[in-house]
Amino acid sequence: MKILARFVKDESGATAIEYGLIAAGISVVIITAVQLAGTNLNATWGTIAAALK
């Protein structure tokens, strides 16, 4: 029973999961920002290409 009680009180796994969730959230924000920047950059290059024709 002592081992089970110690296992229930151990929070190191919960901390690792929290860090994983934070990293996943930051990754989603970065991916979204890069996609928006890429879309805007693509539109800008399209405008420049059309002006040069």
Q: Which amino acid is at 18?
A: E
Q: What is the pLDDT of residue 3?
A: 81
Q: What is the pLDDT of residue 47?
A: 95
Q: What is the pLDDT of residue 46?
A: 95
Q: What is the pLDDT of residue 21?
A: 95
Alpha helices for the chain (secondary structure H)? 2-9, 12-52
Report CA-CA distances (Å) from 36 to 8, 22, 29, 39, 47: 44, 21, 11, 5, 17
pLDDT in tens, 1-48: 788 788 777 777 778 889 999 999 999 999 999 999 999 999 999 999
Sign of the alpha-carbon torsion through 16, 18, 21, 27: negative
Residue 32: how many CB atoms within 10 A of its CB?
Answer: 10
Q: What is the pLDDT of residue 53?
A: 84
